[in-house]
Amino acid sequence: MITQRQEELLKLIVESYIKTAKPVGSKALCDTMNCSSATIRNEMAFLEDHGLLEKTHTSSGRIPSDKGYRYYVDNIMSPKELTGEDMLKLQTIFKNNSLVLSDAIVKSMEIVSELTNYTAIVLGESSADNKVAKVEVVPTAENRLTALVITDKGHVENRNVVLEERVSTDEIKQTVDIINKLIVGIPLSEVSKVLEFEVKPVIDKYVKQHEALYNAFYNAFSDFAPKPDIKMHGTTKLLSEPEFNDVSKMRELLNKFEDQDLIKNIKSDDDGVSIYIGSENMIDDDISIIKTYYTKDGVEGTIALVGPKRMEYGRAGALLNYIKENIGKN
């Protein structure tokens, strides 16, 4: 346990460091704390001994440790209210009836990234969990087509279809009609199996150039593998933060952002806003991640913000909460 004065001191140091990114010395706190510099140094030493503050190599001041940030978030931080300007910018997205929900979520997180200067991440469902709603075909060149597979969740998967020989337009249309009749409602991950065991016998019976058409569509649709739907915005925004002035450190972080298997670990199942500070997250010890889970009409996913450990946790959490509430109303 720490005393009320020590807690107030920790609060001042955390909030000063969040704002300035500069270590905090005892002299800067004398007037605010109404204590002598010696008293503050003693209290800072106590907090350091208990793992809540750290010394830097370049200054005699102190900065919060991961444990100090955690104590601040859990015990000191006050809930933040969004400004009218923040809410107005986000409301324009959710009031735009021309946007489907998935696009509204992505665009709202892009705005949050711009407002906070943090990296925004939207993790949707794996596309392989979607079910086929419709298949459409667009000719692109001789013996080449683009098949558009539209799912029940509004996702569109593009597949190139390469024909081994010239095929008539009527034969293509007939094949697509058969495919639509037999695979609508089927999960994407099961499409190739249905093509082989249900669609192929019908095409063999009714379509003259069945061999070429079946092979083309089977090859195009056979690679529907589960993959996360990941949208990121502002991946280079951390470059402007002093913690990432080290080029090698920043390069390492950007490489991690490109690793989809790593990023999908951000997925949340918690209904509230969760905060992972430094070593608590699975991405990088020098960042913090704030995330929450959303669900609406069977569509579910995670929205998250990634920033330096000296994030404005209260504001970032309030922004995510606001988006989550609007997803529920949309």
56: domain CATH number?
1.10.10.10
Residues 185 and 143 reside in one and the same domain: yes
Residues 321 and 243 reside in one and the same domain: yes
Residue-level pLDDT at 157: 77
Residues 325 and 238 reside in one and the same domain: yes
Residue-level pLDDT at 128: 59
For residue 104, what is the domain's CATH number?
3.30.450.40
Residues 101 and 235 reside in one and the same domain: yes
Distance, in Å, from the CA atom of 111 to the CA atom of 326, rounded to the nearest integer, reads 14
Q: Which of 221, 254, 277 is the last residue in one of the domains?
A: 221
Give the Cβ contact number of residue 111 at 10 Å: 18
* pTM (predicted TM-score): 0.73
For residue 206, what is the domain's CATH number?
3.30.390.10
Residues 110 and 151 reside in one and the same domain: no
Residue 57 C-alpha from the chain's centroid:
34
Residue-level pLDDT at 250: 85
Residues 162 and 298 reside in one and the same domain: no
Q: Which H, E and C letters describe the chain, residue by residue?
A: CCCHHHHHHHHHHHHHHHHHCCCECCHHHHHHHCCCHHHHHHHHHHHHHCCCEEECCCCCCEEECHHHHHHHHHHHCCCCCCCHHHHHHHHHHHCCCCCCHHHHHHHHHHHHHHHHCCEEEEEECCHHHCEEEEEEEEEEECCEEEEEEEECCCCEEEEEEECCCCCCHHHHHHHHHHHHHHHCCCEHHHHHHHHHHHHHHHHHHHCCCHHHHHHHHHHHHCCCCCCCEEEEECCCHHHHCHHHCCHHHHHHHHHHHCCHHHHHHHCCCCCCCEEEEHHHCCCCCCEEEEEEEEEECCEEEEEEEEEECCCCHHHHHHHHHHHHHHHHHC
Distance, in Å, from the CA atom of 112 to the CA atom of 326, rounded to the nearest integer, reads 14
Residues 206 and 238 reside in one and the same domain: no
Residues 232 and 215 reside in one and the same domain: no
Which residues of the chain are modeled with pLDDT < 70?
58, 125-129, 223-228, 330
Residue-level pLDDT at 95: 87
Residues 136 and 206 reside in one and the same domain: yes
Residues 117 and 143 reside in one and the same domain: no
Residues 116 and 136 reside in one and the same domain: no
Q: Which of 40, 56, 76 is the last residue in one of the domains?
A: 76
Residues 72 and 91 reside in one and the same domain: no
Number of domains in the chain: 3
Residue-level pLDDT at 268: 81
- Domain range for residue 53? 4-76
Residue-level pLDDT at 292: 95
Q: Which of 171, 193, 221 is the last residue in one of the domains?
A: 221
Residue-level pLDDT at 228: 63
